[in-house]
């Protein structure tokens, strides 16, 4: 396919040139190629240049970004390479809007450290969001495969030096980044959601005990949220606002108890003077000691309670009579107040009708399986029947509904089934705050899902694991980089209403091409699409300039003499 030019001579002797889009096709009968006209553009002197440009732009969409950019450049420029730049430019714009670059530059003053440490840290944060990899691979990614504003290349030594420095300024950086984020986004910090997770390490041995500590940093815990109790792990805590913005992260040894963790988090954030804060935690932090510690300095809490626990308070709250009130959709709430003298807790019983139907269906299926398992047990020998009962009680669900009669026979515990049915679709919340309505308590606790979403993104989108480090300080720095990356992508998601996956895919289409010609080297980006422009506008980040770098060849030194 090519642009064909034909001439026609007028009666006055002038020549007129016509342009057309042509294609040569082989004629097997004539045994020669023939010209096939696909489209006539008309006279050359009457051609609409803008229409041609639009056509070229439209056709370029079928090409990879770099080739499309090369196709639109003048022939005297030689194409060198093309790298994606949109995602890094968007993240760098948010990095600047939050003032993180200025904060790091301020903390860098007076230190014997490469001034490019700030750019190295941003590059590693961007790498987690765009193409998660090890620090060695990150250095190659920056140097060879992506365009990072203000950073042409990166070495693994720069990465490690910057990570070591990041750990030194962690507390000060976290506080300043929080206030910068709060001022920019007008965050509501009346509710803070806290939860923990763990990440494991593919190593045969745990870390040896350190000075003053009975165990090392990566250690066995016996329980793993990643279902790998056979491997050493560390515990990671995260505090998130109701908008889903992660404000700080903590990394602790794998055997850290919940009580020690919640106290450290409370003490760290107390220095920020956040004012009135209600902590929202799941059932893992609902011990009496943790609850009372969260109430210090005027704080309050909302925690989940185990429905089937042996807690006398939970049983009393569930046994109280009262009318449910519809909050939203299928969610109903009922408030119960239990007075403990000086400590007055409020309980909110929540019921979801859809979940009630689901719980009943699951229980019916479990009972059918249990009934089938014990159907022929009456004819078994007592020893064999006892072994069957032991095997069945190995599952907590079976243990709840299986009973043994005085004669040693296995039966379904109908009383336990009836008691369990009363809990269908229900969950129980406890709060110390006297000002929140029951509806606020229920909806506030449901927002704890924001932390679960944060963990999901940390472990999948940002590849929190596998962790390629073994030293404690490097592990802590790695988690901090993941936190900063999550902060940027969550702000981008909230501003655009798009998932980060969609944002990243669209921004990857924006490329920066390098060309060289007689006048020097030039770097030019591709045209922004309508969606890309909308994303830049929504996040408050300016589009990258059309030409990002123009370099003229250096003049040759004058000859001596």
DSSP 449-505: HHHHHHHHHHHTTS---S----SHHHHHHHHHHHHHHHHHHHHHHHHHSS-HHHHHH
Could you give the CA distance from residue 423 to residue 212 in angstroms, rounded to a whole number?
Answer: 47
Domains of the chain: 1-47 (no CATH), 175-326+436-467 (3.30.420.10)
Token pair belonging to 10: 């007028």
Q: Identify the pLDDT of residue 557.
A: 45
Strands 278-281 and 191-200: parallel
Token pair belonging to 241: 């606002």
Q: Identify the pLDDT of residue 133.
A: 92
For the entire predicted model, the pTM comes to 0.78
Q: Identify the pLDDT of residue 211.
A: 65
- Residue 275's Cβ-count burial label (10 Å; 0-12, 13-18, 19+) is exposed
325 DSSP β-pair partners: 333
Q: Is 168 helix (H, G, I), strand (E, B) or coil?
A: helix
Beta sheet of 32-43, edge-to-edge order:
2-9, 15-27, 32-43
Could you give the CA distance from residue 38 to residue 329 in angstroms, rounded to a whole number?
Answer: 59
Closest C-alpha to 45, from 1, 85, 10: 10
Beta sheet of 511-517, edge-to-edge order:
78-84, 511-517, 520-525, 547-551
Q: Is 4 helix (H, G, I), strand (E, B) or coil?
A: strand
Could you give the CA distance from residue 299 to residue 281 in angstroms, rounded to a whole number?
Answer: 13
Could you give the CA distance from residue 254 to residue 82 in angstroms, rounded to a whole number?
Answer: 44
Q: Identify the pLDDT of residue 255.
A: 83
Strands 410-412 and 402-404: antiparallel
* Burial annotation 461-478 (CB, 10 A radius, 16+ → b, else e): bbbbbebebeebebbbbb
Q: Identify the pLDDT of residue 18.
A: 85
Q: Identify the pLDDT of residue 537.
A: 96
Q: Identify the pLDDT of residue 310.
A: 67
DSSP 9-60: E-TTS-EEEEEEEEEEEEETTTTEEEEEEEEEEEEGGG--HHHHHHHHHHHH
R_g of the chain, CA atoms, integer Å: 33
Query: Using an 8 Å Cβ cutoff, are 510 and 66 in contact?
Result: no
Q: Identify the pLDDT of residue 308.
A: 73
Residue written as token pair 């990440």: 199
Could you give the CA distance from residue 330 to residue 326 in angstroms, rounded to a whole number?
Answer: 7
Q: Identify the pLDDT of residue 151.
A: 92
Of the CA atoms within 13 Å of residue 431, those in its CB half-sphere come to 24
Residues of the chain predicted below pLDDT 50: 341-342, 555-561
User: Angle at CA 117, nearest 5°, toward 116 and 121?
Assistant: 120
Q: 335 phi and psi, to 5 degrees? A: -100, 140
Cis peptide before 286 (omega within 30 of 0): no
Could you give the CA distance from residue 506 to residue 503 in angstroms, rounded to a whole number?
Answer: 5
Could you give the CA distance from residue 550 to residue 524 in angstroms, rounded to a whole number?
Answer: 9
Closest C-alpha to 56, from 40, 71, 76: 71
| Helix or strand run (H / E) with residue 506 | helix 500-507
Q: Is 204 helix (H, G, I), strand (E, B) or coil?
A: coil
For residue range 79-133, what is the model confidence (pLDDT) as tens digits? 788 899 999 999 999 999 999 999 998 888 877 777 789 999 999 999 999 999 9
Could you give the CA distance from residue 466 to residue 264 in angstroms, rounded to a whole number?
Answer: 26
Q: Identify the pLDDT of residue 60.
A: 64
Strands 511-517 and 78-84: antiparallel
Q: Is 165 helix (H, G, I), strand (E, B) or coil?
A: helix
């Amino acid at each position: 396919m090519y642009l064909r030019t034909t001439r026609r001579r007028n009666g006055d002797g002038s020549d007129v040139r016509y342009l057309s889009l042509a294609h040569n096709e082989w004629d097997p009968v004539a045994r020669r190629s023939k010209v096939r006209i696909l489209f006539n553009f008309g006279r050359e002197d009457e051609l609409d240049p803008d229409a041609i440009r639009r056509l070229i732009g439209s056709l370029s969409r079928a090409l990879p970004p770099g080739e499309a950019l090369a196709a639109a450049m003048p022939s005297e420029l030689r194409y060198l390479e093309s790298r994606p730049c949109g995602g890094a430019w968007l993240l760098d714009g948010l990095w600047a809007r939050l003032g993180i670059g200025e904060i790091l530059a301020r903390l860098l003053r007076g230190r014997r450290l490469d001034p490019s440490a700030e750019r190295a840290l941003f590059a590693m944060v961007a790498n987690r969001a765009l193409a998660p990899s090890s620090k060695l691979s990150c250095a190659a990614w920056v140097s060879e495969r992506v365009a990072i504003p203000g950073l042409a290349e990166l070495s693994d030594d720069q990465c490690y030096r910057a990570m070591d420095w990041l750990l030194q300024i962690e507390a000060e950086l976290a506080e300043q980044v929080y206030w910068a984020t709060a001022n920019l986004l007008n965050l509501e910090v009346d509710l803070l959601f806290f939860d923990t997770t763990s990440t494991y390490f593919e190593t045969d041995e745990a870390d040896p005990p350190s000075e003053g500590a009975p165990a090392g940093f990566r250690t066995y815990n016996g329980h793993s949220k990643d279902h790998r109790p056979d491997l050493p792990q560390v515990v990671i805590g995260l505090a998130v606002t109701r908008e889903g913005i992660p404000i700080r992260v903590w990394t602790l040894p794998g055997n850290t108890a919940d009580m020690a963790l919640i106290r450290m988090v409370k003490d760290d954030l107390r220095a920020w003077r956040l004012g009135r804060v209600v902590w929202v935690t799941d059932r893992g932090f609902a011990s009496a000691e943790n609850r009372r510690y969260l109430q210090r300095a005027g704080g309050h809490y909302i925690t989940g309670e185990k429905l089937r626990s042996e807690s006398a308070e939970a049983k009393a709250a569930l046994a109280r009579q009262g009318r449910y009130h519809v909050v939203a959709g299928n969610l109903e709430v009922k408030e119960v107040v239990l007075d403990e003298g000086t400590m007055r807790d409020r309980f909110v019983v929540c019921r979801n009708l859809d979940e009630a139907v689901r719980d009943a269906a699951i229980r019916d299926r479990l009972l059918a399986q249990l009934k089938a398992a014990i159907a022929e047990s009456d004819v078994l020998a007592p020893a064999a029947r006892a072994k069957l009962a032991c095997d069945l009680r190995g599952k907590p669900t079976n243990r709840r509904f299986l009973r043994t009669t005085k004669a040693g026979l296995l039966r379904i515990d109908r009383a336990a089934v009836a008691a369990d049915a009363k809990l269908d679709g229900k969950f129980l919340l406890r709060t110390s705050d006297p000002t929140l309505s029951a509806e606020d308590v229920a909806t506030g606790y449901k927002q704890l899902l924001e932390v679960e979403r944060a963990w999901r993104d940390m472990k999948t989108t940002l590849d929190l694991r596998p962790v390629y480090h073994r030293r404690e300080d490097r592990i802590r720095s790695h988690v901090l980089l993941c936190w900063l990356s999550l902060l940027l992508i969550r702000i981008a998601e909230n501003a655009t209403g798009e998932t980060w996956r969609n944002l990243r895919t669209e921004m990857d289409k924006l490329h920066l091409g390098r060309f060289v010609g007689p006048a020097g080297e030039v770097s030019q980006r591709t045209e922004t699409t309508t969606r890309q422009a909308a994303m830049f506008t929504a996040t408050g980040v300016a589009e990258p300039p059309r030409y990002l770098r123009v370099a003229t060849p250096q003049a040759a030194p004058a000859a001596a003499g």
